[in-house]
Copies of this chain bind each other. A is one copy, B any other.
Amino acid sequence: KPAKQRQRVPVVPQGIERDAFIAALEELGGQLGKENVEVNDKPLVDGWYMEHPNTHDMMTILDEEEFVASAVVYPSTTEEVQSIVQWANKHKIPIFPISMGRNLGYGGAAPRVRGSVVIDLGRRMNRILDINPEDYTCLVEPGVSYYGLYEAIKERGYDHLWIDVPDLGGGSVIGNAVDRGVGYTPYGDHWACHSGLEVVLPTGEVIRTGMGALPGNNTWQTFPYGFGPFSDGIFSQSNYGIVTKMGMTLMPNPGGYEGFMYTFPKEEDLAPLIDIIRPLRISMILENVAQLRHVTQSVAARGIPRSKFYSGSGPIPMDIVHKAAAEQPVGDHSWGYYGMCYGPEHIRKHKLAIIDAEFKKIPGARKIDPKSLPEDEYYFARERVAAGIPDIHELRWVNWTPNGAHIAFSPVSPIRGTDATALNDLGRRIHDKYGIDFFPAFIVGLREMHLIVEIVFDRDDPERKKAALDCLRDLVEEAAKLGYGEYRTHLVLMDQVAGTYNWNDSALMKFNEKLKDALDPNGILAPGRCGIWPKRYRNRGWEM
């Protein structure tokens, strides 16, 4: 997609004059080096995943100029992050930290408040500070990607250490964890697997959490809690601090692994299947965070545009999807479960036998023989990911529409057939209403599932963008009425989603706001992120 002429430059944060802003940036340039302060006055280039912009959301659902940075700055040390924060307080300029800015589907690199100064931490703070082969831990800066960490481990010959990766390997280990992202080995809950943070507070002080607060410790990455209040959690999905270092536990090489895939023929197989999965998952017979995907997305996962199958309006008819699936190597189905079994062969065989017997209780269930699949089949991407090997195959379904972009609806439910059906029916009904193809995938955590519904849209088609956004807003609202809430969301939906967590007259949000006001009196850090507005912004029309 070609870069458009800018309509609304220069971008200046609200409440400051243009000249004063330029002068403030020059002041900051004097501290960080001119080359590390970039004004965002050039055309907005979307690029692609590996060369993504840090000025805006490359998959924007609103006007591109809406969530846009006024400038981007590149600190190289924690001290420089502190001076940026002090500078922001001095001039009352909103700042928005990103680690790598690949938060696609949830806002990419964009700030929530137009004209914020984006702090691109990852560009220069990208060191792996430690990989500890005895404790199975590491300590990283924001710019360390899954690819980077994986390669460093291989280079050092640490075959006994695995990492856990989300579907795309280009993300930041820190950025993903602070947004509470997930991967697909048994270590899939990234936030649960971290240990130790270094955080620059909104007033510029720097703290180390957990054992990091004890000088000379050697336990920062092995014991998450430390002594006293365990404060890490409030730095995830928030705007209370800038994470400059994070410890992460590494998974031991399980001594063998074996991916597997089962398909299930009917839409209605969903409920009984989920009820079969639940006890197996909780008791770790099903060991990894697995995906149960609908056939429509599996067809799309080959990267072939929708137009090759269907050119009519409205959602693609299911008979066409099934016909396309039947012609693909996996064969026709409604649901596909991609799992992995770990450990040496003599242990795996017992678990696989149980799984096989249980899954085959669904009439027509088929175990797919990976040997029957071509090398570039999507199945193998899932297998790599479940073995902690970074990948980007997952990007392919974004080609489903021209100028493909996507945005996610991500509600949480127990692992129960009734819930899966309720959410799936709701999703299908509302997608139909807006004429949008429905891509449900259940990501099975330990006691809950994230249903991830990706809406793929043509980002050059304002009408389809509007339909996608209306559909999402509807989904969030209707799901909340049934008691389902999102685990994470896009910038544009943060106020709405936060608003659904409103028990007892929004007591939790009032509590969040109290913390925000105490920690960030000038309201400079990522205003509006996760629906938390600082006092200076609250009820002044920023919510959307």
Contacts and interface: CB of A to CB of B under 8 A. Distances in A.
Contacts of A305: none
Interface string A497-538: 110111110011111101101110000000000111000000
Q: What is the total number of copies of this protein in its complex? A: 2
A48 interface: no
* Best-buried of A229, A346, A519 by chain B (most CB within 10 Å): A229
A134 interface: yes
A227 B503 contact: no
Interface string A114-130: 00000000000000000
Contacts of A509: 228
A208 B508 contact: yes
Contacts of A416: 134-135
Interface residues on A, range: 35 or more
Interface stretch (A30-38, A59-67, A87-95, A275-283): A275-283
Contacts of A201: 511
A260 interface: no
Interface string A196-222: 000001000111110111111111011
Which of A205, A236, A497, A509: most chain B CB closer than 10 A? A205
Interface string A154-198: 000000100000000000000000001000000000011001000
A190 to B, nearest CB: 11
A538 to B, nearest CB: 15
A223 B518 contact: no
Contacts of A515: 229, 231, 515, 518
14 contacts: A195-B447, A206-B507, A217-B485, A218-B414, A222-B415, A223-B448, A227-B237, A227-B498, A228-B238, A229-B233, A229-B235, A230-B236, A233-B234, A346-B350
